[in-house]
Structure 1
Amino acid sequence: MTIGKQLRRVALCAAFLPTVAETQTLITPEAFLNAVVGKTITFHEIRSGMLVGTEEFLSPTLSVWRMEGRGCVYGQITTPNGQICFLYDDAPDGVPVCWWPFLHDDRLMVRLARFVGSETQEVRSVTDDSLNCPSTPVG
């Protein structure tokens, strides 16, 4: 079953946040994580279609992110206020990056959880492949 179908099924059965538009349904970060843990997914900027990066969800609290041409960065995952947040090891300010996950016309998307200068990314692929990043942190 595809991630979109899994999330659609959960959307019908679970208590999701209210619909923000007719074709956009916010989903809980927990439902998002349940669908992606153990998977590696690619994120593409919605307007340009360019690859932003690839993230492997190692557990509900740990991921590893890799942008093209860069090394791996591990992130601690939290889920405050209906958002999914990532505090990456290389965050210069120690502030997590937070997103609202949602479905739009059967496509899985994430929107940066801020109202000014926000961006939207689309999940384009979901695989069982590992990013083969070294030294997964413990803790």
Structure 2
Amino acid sequence: MTIGKRAGVAALVALTPFAAHAQTRITPEAFLTAVQGKTVTFHDYPSGFLVGTEEFLSPTQSVWRMEGRGCVYGQITTPNGQICFLYDDDPDDVPVCWWPFLHEDRLMVRLASFSRREIQEVRSITEDGLNCPSVPIS
């Protein structure tokens, strides 16, 4: 675990009551506070394959990059205890929503869909940017 990730997880544990349980949901606001201005890598759980990297530019804007693909900017919202992302390249304008939680001292997100049970683990939180061009102003 990187030092930046430890600090982010420690901040989330401090904000989360009963963090000693095996799985503890955290608020989207606590998650976004821990990652704002940082770059986060997401890995499939349990396979460990890299899904992608996201730079959290602000509490309402991010940029996502998958392996071998370019940067895609997204708007972040937090309805009903979820973190939702609507990316510029989404053809149907439907956001992708996640529930953040801690599991055995690891920061995770679970797809907020009853049709798929996708879970991703945050493997690193760094200060490094994605160096994506043309950051939108809004």
TM-score category by the smaller chain?
over 0.9
TM-score by length of 2: 0.92
Corresponding position of 1:2: 7
Corresponding position of 2:83: 84
Alpha-carbon distance between aligned partners in 1 of 2:46 and 2:105, rounded to the nearest angstrom: 17
- Runs of 4+ residues deviating >4 angstroms: none
Alpha-carbon distance between aligned partners in 1 of 2:116 and 2:61, rounded to the nearest angstrom: 26
Shift in Å at residue 118 of structure 1? 2.1
Shift in Å at residue 92 of structure 1? 1.0
Shift in Å at residue 117 of structure 1? 1.3
Corresponding position of 1:65: 64
Alpha-carbon distance between aligned partners in 2 of 1:29 and 1:60, rounded to the nearest angstrom: 10
Amino acid at match of 2:80: N
Alpha-carbon distance between aligned partners in 2 of 1:91 and 1:138, rounded to the nearest angstrom: 19
Corresponding position of 2:35: 36
TM-score by length of 1: 0.91
Corresponding position of 1:123: 122
Corresponding position of 1:53: 52
- State yes or no: 1:108 paired with 2:113: no
- Specify the SS of the correspondent of 1:5: helix
- Specify the SS of the correspondent of 1:90: coil
* Aligned sequence identity (%): 71
Amino acid at match of 1:5: A
Map Cα deviations across residues 115-135 of structure 1 (whole Å, 9 max, x no partner).
Answer: 121200000001000000000
Alpha-carbon distance between aligned partners in 1 of 2:46 and 2:104, rounded to the nearest angstrom: 16
Corresponding position of 1:15: none
Shift in Å at residue 67 of structure 1? 0.2
Shift in Å at residue 71 of structure 1? 0.1
Structure 2 portions without partners, runs of 5+:
1-5
Amino acid at match of 1:129: D
